Structure 1
């Protein structure tokens, strides 16, 4: 496959794909019934909406880069080390969606084995489109994003999600929250990792952390944080985070402080 010469143009194409998928989610929600939901694992849900959104996205992306592989939440295709690969979450925030709550979103990233190239996250509830391409900055609806300048733990507005599908995993999340409780200005759970990380890029949150998370949840948004001046690592400070499952995302100023708190969690085996 030839090198992609115009990432900005490709990002704009992917924005249209993400928005179309998001509008499908929003429209379908009007007639959505919980009876259509299936449980993949304990408290991990999927419905025909996830699958149809993924089908539409994969079909459209295949037209842009026919030789690229796919990693998706509902099913993935392998890829060679040197090839391009789309990383897709067709509905991030499924549990929110099932209960007719916001937020939920569509997340699409393009990567090689070595780096993230572009990312798009569309929130149909607020009609916001976040996007970035490598070296080009990060944007929300045309406005350039930058992370916050908060540098004290006690001033930090933090997202710390609890894993949903294992009591063992939940204990890790609970421990993280216990380390933060009373030390920061506020802790929130959003139910959508992709959007929460975008909010770090936009300066709406200062730090996000979660253990046992899928790469489709964070791939697109992580690039936005990096392009907005923030930092993304695993819990132990490794910048090559993409194949990890335990991430800290921050404005950069707070990163080492929160890493010191979070690395005290019990051993992680995933």
Structure 2
């Protein structure tokens, strides 16, 4: 398999789907939004975008299966599986907030080997493949060189349906606010990861995540020289429901800060 060629083809597909999303944003009717669950929104744009992605991905790698947010195709591949979020940041999109993207990752077994995150609002296509480095459009990207948390800008996401750990999470947020340059909440985990990869953020952490939220962006961080883990330990950050991504240098401080409160929350 030629991962570089596959990555190039994937960026073209994601750009095309992103163009469709942008066109629909010009006349989007918020009354057409549906609810999959409490605060879990979906629109016809999500569904049609995923259909376009799945159709294109089938042609790129016919033997691959799918883990797709809207369930367009749930066929599992023996080795390869596409992990698809057609519109990461749906709530932003439905409110007209320009912070959303197309995110696709490719799993080889349990390992992400290829990923693309396309932000149509800024026309920034972040992409990476195993061993090939990470890029924004045609420019190589690298994580920030900030040496410590006190020099860092941190991103996170807020719970939107499971609020059982809210108080502990607020304690974690408070600690990061007092120990860093600040905390930002974009509303799209894939964009957060892309921004860690290109050095705009030094770190990102969030829980209650799904595989399609992180697969496309995780390899960007890895190939840009960053580090990924669960909150307080190494482990499966794609399927494990929580992730810490960083420029590597601030990773121990991030895990330590989270662990001061998260261990209490889990005990």
TM tier, smaller: over 0.9
1:28 to 7, 15, 24: 24
Task: Name the TM-score, length of structure 1 as normaliser.
Answer: 0.94
Question: Counterpart of 2:15?
Answer: 19
* Partner in structure 1 of residue 221 of structure 2: 225
Is the CA contact (8 Å cut-off) linking 1:162 and 1:174 kept in structure 2?
A: no
In the alignment, the residues of structure 2 paired with residue 172 and residue 54 of structure 1 have an alpha-carbon distance, to the nearest angstrom, of: 35
Following superposition of structure 1 onto structure 2, how do residues 159-178 of structure 1 map, counting pairs within 5 Å?
159-178=155-174
In structure 2, the CA distance between the partners of 1:65 and 1:158, relative to structure 1 (3 Å rule), is: same
Taking only aligned residues, the RMSD between alpha carbons, in angstroms, comes to 1.5
2:91 is aligned to: 95
Are 2:66 and 2:74, in contact at CA under 8 Å, matched by a contact in 1?
A: yes
Query: What 5-or-longer segments of structure 1 have no aligned partner?
Result: none
**Distance in structure 2 (CA, Å) of the matches to 1:94 and 1:158:** 22
2:210 and 2:239 in contact (8 A); partners too: no
CA drift of 1:112 comes to 1.8
SS at match of 1:181: helix
Taking the aligned partners of 2:227 and 2:185, their CA distance within structure 1 comes to 20
Return the alpha-carbon distance in structure 2 between the equivalents of residues 90 and 220 of structure 1. 11
Aligned to 2:14, what secondary structure does the other structure show? Answer: helix
Equivalences, count = 264
CA distance in 2, matches of 1:85, 1:172: 35
Instruction: Look up the SS of the partner of 1:263 in the other structure.
Output: helix
Which residue pairs with 2:53 in the alignment?
A: 57
Indicate whether 1:135 and 2:131 are aligned.
Answer: yes
Q: After TM superposition, give the deviation of residue 151 of structure 1 in Å.
A: 1.4
Is 1:77 the counterpart of 2:74? The answer is yes
> Which of 24, 41, 46 is residue 45 of structure 1 equivalent to?
41
Between the aligned partners of 1:172 and 1:164, the Cα distance in structure 2 is 15
More off after superposition, 189-198 vs 257-266 = 257-266
Shift of 1:165: 1.2
Q: Deviations over 1:201-259 (max 9, x none)?
A: 00000000001111101111110100000000011221542221111000000001110
Deviation of 1:170 (Å):
3.6
Deviation sequence 1:42-63 (CA, Å, 0-9, x none): 1110010000000000011011
2:205 corresponds to 1:237? no
Q: Is the 8 A contact 2:7 2:129 kept in 1?
A: yes
Counterpart secondary structure, 1:166:
coil
Q: Following TM superposition, by how much is the alpha carbon of 1:169 offset from its aligned partner in structure 2, in angstroms?
A: 4.7
Give the conservation status (yes or no) of the 8 Å contact 1:37–1:46.
yes
Give the SS at the match of 1:71.
Answer: strand
Q: What residue is the counterpart of 1:191 in the other structure?
A: 187
* Farther off after superposition, 62-71 or 249-258: 62-71
Distance between the aligned counterparts of 1:172 and 1:126, measured in 2? Answer: 34
Give the aligned partner of residue 152 of structure 2: 156
SS of 2:146 mapped into structure 1: coil
- State the alpha-carbon separation in 1 of the partners of residues 93 and 193 from structure 2: 18
TM-score, normalisation: structure 2: 0.95
